[in-house]
Amino acid sequence: MRTFFAVIIASLVALAALAIAQPTVPVLPFHDSLRGTTPLNEEPKAPLIAPTENKDVIRGLNYAQQPPTIPHKIDNYQLDKNANRCLACHARSRAEESGAVPVAVSHYIDRDGLVSGHLSPRRYFCTQCHVPQADAKLLIGNTFVAVEDIKQQPTSKSQKK
């Protein structure tokens, strides 16, 4: 019984020593992937914004169901409840004349699944899904392969035939 109390007292003393011990400060400065080495009480300098691409080429997809990206500058385009500058070229009635890709038919379907002759209100603000691109280095790698590019491996049943 005496050894039991001795073990408990020794454990409590060890826990108390750990509780009052000062935390160690790392030798290297703290480095956050978003803030860099800027201390928390200081505002970091914002990185330069990469220039928007203006190539007018249709890009490939980076993941399944990705909305197409905007291949040109849209600086100063009015896109609010009063006007949508994108429709000046991309409306189905103007696309042939402008040479732009027409708005997809899916954008004319309302939330009840009914097709109408005008753009659905939930698809009106183009930049909710479609974004211009910048010529910037990739932050992370991407190994996406579109379904149509995946080569089917022969199964064991088809090999036997």
pLDDT at 158: 53
pLDDT at 2: 78
Known binding residues: 72, 86, 89-90, 107, 126, 129-130
Paired with 115 in beta bridges are 109
Known binding residues for heme c: 72, 86, 89-90, 107, 126, 129-130
Contact 98, 89 (CB under 8 A): yes
Architecture of domain 63-136: Orthogonal Bundle (1.10)
Written as tens digits, the pLDDT of the chain (161 aa) is 778 888 889 898 888 887 777 677 667 766 777 777 888 788 888 878 888 888 888 888 788 888 999 999 999 999 999 999 999 999 999 999 999 999 999 999 999 999 988 889 899 999 999 999 887 887 788 888 877 778 776 666 655 55
Q: What are the strands, taking DSSP E only, across 16-110?
A: none
